[in-house]
């Protein structure tokens, strides 16, 4: 089943159901805000007090950071403008009883050209089966090249942050944005304070172990991974998030960040892909 629905505040979303899983994708931001395999708990975390309003990013799920990750382009909003832009649904297909695909598109507008003076097509293909697969394709339709940083800012639901362990980043070089220094990760990642690090030259699967489940993250078109949890003080300052929400999730973001930026020449493209299960 593929059905276009609307929330009470006129935010449209796509609801998908097949034998393997269910999912919900908001047209604003092409934002996957729910994915659940049959007879299992939600894979993604969504804030109970998230804003589902026009022009405001949804807190949780998988926001798309594009065409800038973080605040590295002062002319753009934090994490770019895609996550608050209205995409259009251009195709949908029930491939079989267990597999569903949808594709959404964002194109440059007169408004986007004012803040980022490049012409583009941005396509997100989402495949819902026993895995959640997201493929974000950037096509440069301009006559000049542009630099791109981006991320799937994935929020993963956990039983408690004290139970979360991230594996697969041992011995990887990373940049700690809280201390502005580079270092090499030693061992697995656990959480007992605010955590915000960007790992580089990552070419392997990342695993999130929780008390009773294991989440796998595989990436293509990316060699940088961001791991983030705001912890107590920052969580209290953040919008659309309850004070204790930091206990409920960890973000593991498939990215092209910092030195993993991409330069897209005219008529060329780049695809960032994440497979989650």
Residue 30 near residue 106, CB atoms below 8 Å: yes
Rounded distance, CA 250 to CA 162, Å?
11
Catalytic residue among 31, 79, 101, 153: 153
Count CB neighbours of 272 within 10 A: 24
Residue 84 near residue 109, CB atoms below 8 Å: no
Active site (annotated) includes residue 253: yes
Residue 129: closest CA among 219, 21, 3, 24: 21
Task: Give one word for 33, left, alpha or beta, with left for phi > 0 and alpha for psi -120 to 50.
Answer: alpha
Rounded distance, CA 262 to CA 150, Å?
9
Active site (annotated) includes residue 53: no
Rounded distance, CA 51 to CA 223, Å?
31
Rounded distance, CA 6 to CA 21, Å?
20
Catalytic residue among 253, 259, 268, 270: 253
Return the active site residues: 153, 253
């Amino acid at each position: 089943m593929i059905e276009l629905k609307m929330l009470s505040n006129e935010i449209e979303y796509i609801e998908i159901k097949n034998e393997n899983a269910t999912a919900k994708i908001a047209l604003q931001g092409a934002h996957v805000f729910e994915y659940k395999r049959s007879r299992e708990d939600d894979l993604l975390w969504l804030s109970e007090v998230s804003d589902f309003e026009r022009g405001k990013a949804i807190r949780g799920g998988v926001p798309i950071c594009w065409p800038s990750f973080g605040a590295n382009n002062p002319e753009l909003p934090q994490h770019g403008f895609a996550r608050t832009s209205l995409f259009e649904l251009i195709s949908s297909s029930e491939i079989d009883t267990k597999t569903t695909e949808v594709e959404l598109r964002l194109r440059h507008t007169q408004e986007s050209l004012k803040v980022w003076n490049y012409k583009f097509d941005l396509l997100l293909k989402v495949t819902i089966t026993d895995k959640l697969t997201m493929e974000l394709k950037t096509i440069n339709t301009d006559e000049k090249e542009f630099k791109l940083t981006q991320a799937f800012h994935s929020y993963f639901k956990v039983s408690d942050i004290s139970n979360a362990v991230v594996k697969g980043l041992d011995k990887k070089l990373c940049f700690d944005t809280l201390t502005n220094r580079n270092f090499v990760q030693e061992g697995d990642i656990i959480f007992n304070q605010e955590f915000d690090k960007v790992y580089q030259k990552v070419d392997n699967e990342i695993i999130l172990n929780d008390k009773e489940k294991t989440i796998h993250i595989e990436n293509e078109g990316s060699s940088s991974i961001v791991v983030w949890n705001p912890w107590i003080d920052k969580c209290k300052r953040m919008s659309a998030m309850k004070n204790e929400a930091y206990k409920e999730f960890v973000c593991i973001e498939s990215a092209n960040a910092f030195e993993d930026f991409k330069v897209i020449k005219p008529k060329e493209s780049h695809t960032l892909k994440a497979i989650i299960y």
